[in-house]
Chain A
Amino acid sequence: EVQLLESGGGLVQPGGSLRLSCAASGFIFSGYAMTWVRQAPGKGLEWVSSLSGGGGNTFYADSAKGRFAISRDNSKNTLYLQMNSLRAEDTAVYYCAKVSGYTSGWHRGWFDPWGQGTRVTVSS
Chain B
Amino acid sequence: QSALTQPRSVSGSPGQSVTISCTGTSSDVGGYNYVSWFQQHPGEAPKLMIYDVSQRPSGVPDRFSGSKSDNTASLTISGLQAEDEADYYCCSYAGTYTWVFGGGTKLTVL
- CB-CB < 8 A to A110: which residues of B? 34, 36, 48, 51-52
In B70-110, the 8 Å CB interface with A consists of 89, 91, 93, 96-104
In A59-87, the 8 Å CB interface with B consists of 59, 61-62
Shortest CB distance A7–B (Å):
15
- CB-CB < 8 A to A95: which residues of B? 45-46
Q: Which residue of A lies closest to B102 (CB)?
A: A44
- CB-CB < 8 A to B57: which residues of A? 112
Given contacts A50-B97, A59-B97, contact A45 B38 (CB under 8 A): yes
B-contact 0/1 string along A98-123, CB 8 Å cutoff: 00010000011011111111000000
Q: Is the interface of A mostly helix, strand, loop or mixed?
A: strand
A-contact 0/1 string along B36-56, CB 8 Å cutoff: 101000000111100110000
Residues of chain B at interface, number, CB under 8 A = 24
A57: Cβ under 8 A from any B Cβ: yes
A89: Cβ under 8 A from any B Cβ: no
Q: Give Cα A59 to B97, complex, Å.
A: 6
Give me the interface of B with A, judged by CB distance under 8 Å. 1, 3, 34, 36, 38, 45-48, 51-52, 57, 89, 91, 93, 96-104
